[in-house]
Amino acid sequence: MNNFRIHVLGLPHTITNDEFVACAYTQKALKFCKMMKGRGHTIYHYGHEDSKTMADEDVTVITNEVWERVYGTHDYKSKFFKYSLQDEAYQTFYKNAIKEIEKRKQPEDIILPFWGAGVRPICDAHPDLITIEPGIGYAGGHWAKYKIFESYAIYHAYCGLNSVGNCQQSNYDIVIPNYFDLDQFDYNKNKEDYFLFLGRVYGGKGVQIAIEVAKATGIKLKVAGQLDPSYENFDWPNNVEFVGYASVEKRKELMKNAKASFLPSLYLEPFGGVQIENLLSGTPTITTDWGAFAENNIEGVTGYRCRTFEDYARAVKNIQNGKIKPIDCRKQGERFSLEEIAPMYEDFFRKAIDVKKRRGWYEIWDKSLYTKEYIDSRKK
């Protein structure tokens, strides 16, 4: 197995640690360091001085002093994240990351911009490195030669309808699903008497659907997450409880004890990591019927995919009647463990290096697959 040297770019407006659990991109960077360092690869992480990853080196490219000056008064636990690509934090991050990577890089090194175009200036400053967008879950700004999408849903959306009638696909735009640290979740088959909504509390995530279904069916609903301004002074119904920001431990408790979790996103979810987190807790999910949910929420096995209000009400009734087994949820969730996903990244990294240093698409690694005559012909 190759030993890869990988430069992981954190996000300028967050800190790569467990405290920033509400930012999916930050958590992907954090989990990636653990996943790949655990398999013997050399990992450099670039970010805030309080970052705590399992990388070989956490390289500080933004200090507390700068970060506090720009974001210190913003309460990210109760409100959505606030930032600008032109602010002092971003510009400082760019400048220092470019300089620190220069000190450490070697031929065939890989650089991963988990925040996509948000950290592109750093990648552009090092064109000799192999830039791979490592987990695309954003709606625009894709630019790298090598792209890894979180689901076939977002990959096909990126390709567009023109791809249905034209031969324009790239062998190096691929799908590798998001990955999860099983240590952060407890499987529990004995549920308490409440349903859950956990995520950004705003219309796009469909929180209003969860609230309306709770009112119509009489269930108890707990809502957790960062509040959109429209919900800051919201009059919550008597059977709906807003429980605030969910840390890693609070998330674990909320998910493992819920009868089911609502994820009625009104946009095409690129992945919807909260869905898998619930499954790892043995908790069924009630979702919309598009995006990555169509791939990962198995109808009638891990939960239900809904299109009408009555679909949601029926899903609640079925779950109350025990039609979904927690163990089936857990088994589906385990497909996305660090151990299961890591080899997919390793295989793709090798293929990307093949393009730069070897024969690319035609590179031979397993000679048992070919005739001796073919292998000899490739040597010429």
Both 306 and 347 in one domain: the answer is no
**Residue 376: inside a domain, yes or no?**
no
Both 114 and 193 in one domain: the answer is no
Q: Work out whether strand 195-198 and strand 261-263 pair parallel, antiparallel, or are unpaired.
A: parallel
Please give the backbone phi and psi of residue 87, each rounded to the nearest 5 degrees, phi first. -75, 170
Helix axis angle for 248-257 and 273-280, nearest 10°, is: 70
Both 160 and 232 in one domain: the answer is no
What domain count does the chain have?
2
**Residue 379: inside a domain, yes or no?**
no
Q: Which residues pair with 262 in a beta bridge?
A: 197, 286
Both 111 and 246 in one domain: the answer is no
**Residue 125: inside a domain, yes or no?**
yes
**Residue 369: inside a domain, yes or no?**
no
**Residue 378: inside a domain, yes or no?**
no
Both 217 and 248 in one domain: the answer is yes
Separation between Cα atoms, residue 174 and residue 156, nearest integer Å: 10
**Residue 9: inside a domain, yes or no?**
yes
The full DSSP string for 93-136 is: HHHHHHHHHHHH--TT-EEEETTGGGGHHHHHT-TTSEEEEEEE
Residue 236 exposure: Cα atoms within 13 Å on the Cβ side: 19
Contacts 24+ apart (CB under 8 A), 290-295: 290/153, 291/151, 291/153, 291/154, 291/265, 291/267, 292/150, 292/151, 292/153, 292/154, 293/263, 293/265, 293/269, 294/153, 295/151, 295/152, 295/153
**Residue 229: inside a domain, yes or no?**
yes
What is residue 40's DSSP assignment? T
Both 108 and 224 in one domain: the answer is no
Both 318 and 198 in one domain: the answer is yes
Both 149 and 222 in one domain: the answer is no
Separation between Cα atoms, residue 225 and residue 246, nearest integer Å: 6
Both 156 and 293 in one domain: the answer is no
Please give the backbone phi and psi of residue 315, each rounded to the nearest 5 degrees, phi first. -60, -45
Written as six digits, the tokens of 82 are 């606030």
Both 196 and 323 in one domain: the answer is yes
Length of the chain: 380
Both 167 and 50 in one domain: the answer is yes
Separation between Cα atoms, residue 199 and residue 272, nearest integer Å: 10
Please give the backbone phi and psi of residue 133, each rounded to the nearest 5 degrees, phi first. -75, 115
Residue 157's nearest CA partner among 78, 76, 258, 271 is 271
- Each of the 380 residues of the chain gets a pLDDT tens digit; together they read 589 999 999 999 999 999 999 999 999 999 999 999 999 999 999 999 999 999 999 999 999 999 999 999 888 888 889 999 999 999 999 999 999 999 999 999 999 999 999 999 999 999 999 999 999 999 999 999 999 999 999 999 999 999 999 998 999 999 999 999 999 999 999 999 999 999 999 999 999 999 999 999 999 999 999 999 999 999 999 999 999 999 999 999 999 999 999 999 999 999 999 999 999 999 999 999 999 999 999 999 999 999 999 999 999 999 999 999 999 999 999 999 999 999 999 999 999 999 988 788 888 889 999 999 999 988 76
Residue 241 and residue 344 in contact, taking contact as beta carbons nearer than 8 Å: no
Q: Locate tokens 């987990």: which residue? A: 135
Residue 258 and residue 277 in contact, taking contact as beta carbons nearer than 8 Å: no
Give the pLDDT score at 1: 57
Give the pLDDT score at 359: 80
Which residues constitute the domain of residue 327? 183-334
Both 25 and 169 in one domain: the answer is yes
**Residue 372: inside a domain, yes or no?**
no
Q: What CATH number has the domain bearing residue 99?
A: 3.40.50.2000
